[in-house]
Amino acid sequence: MKNLLACALTLAISIPIFAQKTKKKDTLTKKTIQVVDSIPVTPIASELPQTVVATQLKDTTIFSLEDMAHARAIDSLWLSQLYASGRFEEMYGMVQSQSFEDVEYDELSTEVLKQRLQALNARTPFNVEYNPSLESVIKGYLKNRRETMARLMALSDYYFPMFEEQLDKHGLPLEMKYLAVVESALDPRAVSRVGATGLWQFMFSTGKIFGLDVNSYVDERTDPIMATEAASKYLKSLYSSLGDWDLALAAYNSGPGNVSKAIRRSGGKKNYWNIRKFLPRETAGYVPAFLATMYIFEYAEEHGFKSHGPKYPFIATDTIHVKEMITFDQISKVTNLDKAELEYLNPSYRLGIIPKIEDEEYVLRLPIDAVGVFVSHEEAIYEYAKNELAEREKPLPELFEHPDRIRYRVRSGDYLGKIAEKYGVTVSQIKRWNGLRSNNLRIGQRLTIHPRKPIARNNSQAKTEKVSDDVRLYTVKQGDSLWSISQKFPGVTVSNLKKWNGISGTSLKPGMKLKIQKG
């Protein structure tokens, strides 16, 4: 508890210091905040039902404080950079396209690298031995991916403590935390092209096996703590079967069957580097990416990296059991937290809504000081949320519908597992509904689906615009990703492509036209 209070005090002190660095004077405003038990509270009295406020806000003193809008604007910019999507696509592309060619990087000599890898090998159960391929990956990351690695280090300040707690609980090497960097680039909502989701990239079926539920409101694969515990159990089972942590890593990526097959094809060899050429291409670059990431994080200071991590370290947050349905918009109003921060701290809620479902317990993670705000006015907050939700058009949420049955047309690249994941059903259900005896599908085939997930309804008309001299169109090809396309055009980033084309996710379809701006 002392540590938690110290963190809370540190956070409270750090805010005015951060504002001071802006070199602009904050201006006084007429806005007031209410202070209850020395905890700042947003001006919710006018928003909450008055009959409840009278009983909830007792002995409240009203103060006028300086408006820190400028500091909050900078904070918002920082948040958008740190939490922005796109890093998953970049990391995935780095692993997929690893060439293992020699990289010139004078700041790190081969001899120094050998010494550091030997020291690292002595303190970890992974086989961190020098070879030219690993040297190529390490130097490539240091030379070409410094900005990405720095951002990942900042995010690790929040995620690594919770990873280490779960890994230690299950008796796994603490260095296994670097696996989440390679798997998802520490993006809890990362979704791969085949549907693997979350920090630890669980497929729908594998997640179910290890206790991760998925429904219309909640995807537990994106819950950092639950997914880390599931990943720990899965990795532990893989190690029990294979007896080697490097092979367990390879099996986590490509499946134990592919690793067993590679061992047989190699003549029974069990060192990862000896069977690597018999593994799928992605897995061949996977373990080197893990080891390179481990090296850079462990020797970050020697390479000039300084973390500027999230405002709220994991230890400075706590959870509240939610008793009634409530939205992130409502929580944002009553706690004065940016909605992006709520989404960052609570990534498993798919629609920005924490539901109330019988026999299910859902929690809200908040910074410690905001927990005090919420608990102090819990009854009033639920009453406010209930009244506001009652006034909205039904059903919730407004932009989604959930039909009893749809007709789905099979597209190129579809398979039963992918379709089942999309609609929250099982492969066996799709086969039963459509009288299928095998898993084979053909393009254009129509399938009857009884979806369990809500289906997005697009209410806006597609807009077209004339392509000017400054804009060119790129036609998406089979196998393209936002990251691979960005690499074709100098200076273009994944974020650019999303902004120019109004893309919110990462999925692309062959034939799609993407606008690329010149200059």
- SS3 at position 15: helix
- Helices H, strands E: what count in the chain? 23, 13
Give the integer Cα–Cα distance in Å for 23 and 248: 51
Residues 148-164 have pLDDT tens digits of 888 888 888 889 999 99
Per-residue DSSP letter, 394:
S
Residues 207-232 have pLDDT tens digits of 999 999 988 899 999 999 999 999 99
Does residue 367 have a cis peptide bond before it, meaning omega lies within 30 degrees of 0?
Answer: no
Residue 512, judged by CB atoms within 10 A of its CB (0-12, 13-18, 19+), counts as: middle
Q: Catalytic residue numbers? A: 183
Give the integer Cα–Cα distance in Å for 198 and 305: 26
Per-residue DSSP letter, 419:
H
Domains of the chain by start residue, with CATH: 2-76+313-391 (no CATH), 87-303 (1.10.530.10), 403-453 (3.10.350.10), 471-517 (3.10.350.10)
For 112-135, the three-class secondary structure string (H helix, E strand, C coil) is: HHHHHHHHHHHCCCCCCCCCHHHH
Residue 57 in contact with residue 389, Cβ under 8 Å? no
Residues 78-106 have pLDDT tens digits of 455 555 556 777 777 777 767 778 888 88
Does residue 397 have a cis peptide bond before it, meaning omega lies within 30 degrees of 0?
Answer: yes
The answer, yes or no, to whether residue 65 has pLDDT greater than 90, is: no
Cα angle vertex 122, ends 294, 234, to 5°? Answer: 55
Positive or negative, the CA dihedral 80, 82, 83, 89 is positive
Residues 226-251 have pLDDT tens digits of 999 999 999 999 999 999 999 999 99
The answer, yes or no, to whether residue 343 has pLDDT greater than 50, is: yes
Query: Residue 46: its pLDDT value, please?
Result: 43
